[in-house]
Amino acid sequence: MPLKVIEPQRLYRQIAEQLRSLINAGEFAVGSRLPAERELAKQLCVSRPSVREALIALEIEKVVEVRSGSGIYVLKPKKRQATRGKVGEAVEWGPLELMRARELVESEVAALAARHAKQADLQLMDQALQQMRAEVALGQIPRAGDEAFHNAIAQACGNEVLRDTVRGYWEARHGALFERLGDYFEDHVSWDAALLEHAAVLKAIRARKADLARSAMHLHLKRAHQRYSASWRRAKPS
C-alpha cells in the first residue's frame, strides 16, 4: 500500500490517519520502527513539523511509542486506546501551525496594546509575568502565567475581535496534542528564555513603542516555534 501525497488541510490529522491505516493494514508490523521523520516528510511531501504533530497524535492514542534517540515504534493493538479521532476532535489546529498564526496576529495585538493599554492593563501584564517567574522558580511549567500574560495584552489592545481570537488560541492550547508537545520541548532552559522575551514585550508596551512591541512579540513567538521544532528528547511519562 503506497503512501499518498497529503493535501494541505489539517495536515497532521491526515498524516496520522494515513499512518494509522497503514499500521492497521500490516504495512508496519507491531514492534517495528516507522521510517524516520525526515523520510516520512519526504514521501508525503509535507513538512517535518507536520509529521511530528501526527506522530505525537498517534502516540497519545497509543498507536505508536516514541523512543527518544531510537525512533517511533508500533504498539500492539491491545495497548492502543479506542480513541480514534479524539485528538483531532479536541484540537482542530496543529500546534506549530497555530504558532505561526500567533506570530502574525499577536505581534499586531502587542503593537495595539502599546498604543491603548491603560495602567490597569499594564498591572495585569506585570502580575502575569511575576506569576510566570514564580512558577519557573518552583520548577513548574508556567503555562498559567503565560496564558494570563498574553490574554492581558489582548485585553489591552482595544479590539474585541482580536481579544477573542487570542483567547481562542489559548483554548486550543489546552488540548492533548499541545500538552504532549510541551512534554517533549518545554523545560527550564526554554522557559528561562521565554521569560526574557516576555519581559522585552512588556517593556516595549509600557514605553508606548508600538513598533518595538510588535517586533518583540514577533521575535518571542518565532523563537517559541523554533524551540518546538528542535530535536526530540524524552517526554515525561504520560
Q: What is the CATH number of the domain that holds 178?
A: 1.20.120.530
- Per-residue pLDDT for 238 more than 50? no
Query: Residue 234's CB: how many other CB atoms inside 10 A?
Result: 11
- Per-residue pLDDT for 13 more than 50? yes
> Could you tell me if 137 and 211 lie in one domain?
yes
**Per-residue pLDDT tens for 32-71?**
999 998 899 999 998 888 888 899 899 988 999 988 778 8
Q: Which of 50, 68, 90 is the last residue of a domain?
A: 90
Long-range contacts of 15-19 (CB under 8 A, 24+ apart): 15/40, 15/44, 15/46, 15/50, 15/51, 15/53, 15/54, 16/54, 16/55, 16/57, 16/58, 16/87, 16/88, 18/44, 19/54, 19/55, 19/58, 19/63
Task: Find the range with the poorest average confidence among 13-22, 70-79, 87-96, 196-205.
Answer: 87-96
- Residue 228 three-state SS: helix
Q: Which of 64, 90, 116 is the last residue of a domain?
A: 90
Using an 8 Å Cβ cutoff, are 125 and 149 in contact?
Answer: yes
> Could you tell me if 211 and 168 lie in one domain?
yes
Task: Tell me which DSSP letter residue 7 carries.
Answer: P
pLDDT for the residue 4: 64
Is residue 192 situated within a structural domain?
Answer: yes
Provide the residue type at 198 as one letter.
H
Cα(230)–Cα(226) distance, rounded to whole angstroms? 6
Percent of the chain with pLDDT over 90: 57
Q: 84 or 182, which is more confident?
A: 182
> Could you tell me if 147 and 188 lie in one domain?
yes
> Could you tell me if 28 and 65 lie in one domain?
yes
The domain total for the chain is: 2
Dihedral class, residue 98 (left if φ above 0, else alpha if ψ from -120 to 50, else beta): alpha
Is residue 6 situated within a structural domain?
Answer: no
Query: Residue 119's CB: how many other CB atoms inside 10 A?
Result: 8
Mean pLDDT along residues 130-143: 93
**Per-residue pLDDT tens for 82-117?**
544 445 444 467 888 888 899 999 999 999 999 999
pLDDT for the residue 120: 98
Contacts of 48 (CB under 8 A, 6+ apart): 37, 38, 41, 229
* Domain CATH number, residue 38: 1.10.10.10
> Could you tell me if 216 and 108 lie in one domain?
yes
| Residue 235 pLDDT class (50, 70, 90 cuts) | low
Task: Find the range with the poorest average confidence among 124-128, 140-144, 198-202, 216-220.
Answer: 140-144
> Could you tell me if 201 and 216 lie in one domain?
yes
Q: Which of 90, 118, 152 is the last residue of a domain?
A: 90
Give me the phi and psi of 159, to 5 degrees please.
-130, 115
> Could you tell me if 137 and 221 lie in one domain?
yes
Is residue 37 situated within a structural domain?
Answer: yes
> What DSSP string runs through 135-170?
HHHTT---HHHHHHHHHHHHHHTS-HHHHHHHHHHH
Is residue 1 situated within a structural domain?
Answer: no
Q: Domain span at residue 44? A: 11-90
- Per-residue pLDDT for 177 more than 60? yes
Is residue 184 situated within a structural domain?
Answer: yes
Looking at the DSSP bridge assignments, the partners of residue 67 are 71
> Could you tell me if 115 and 167 lie in one domain?
yes
Mean pLDDT along residues 201-210: 98
pLDDT for the residue 186: 83
pLDDT for the residue 90: 44
> Could you tell me if 149 and 104 lie in one domain?
yes
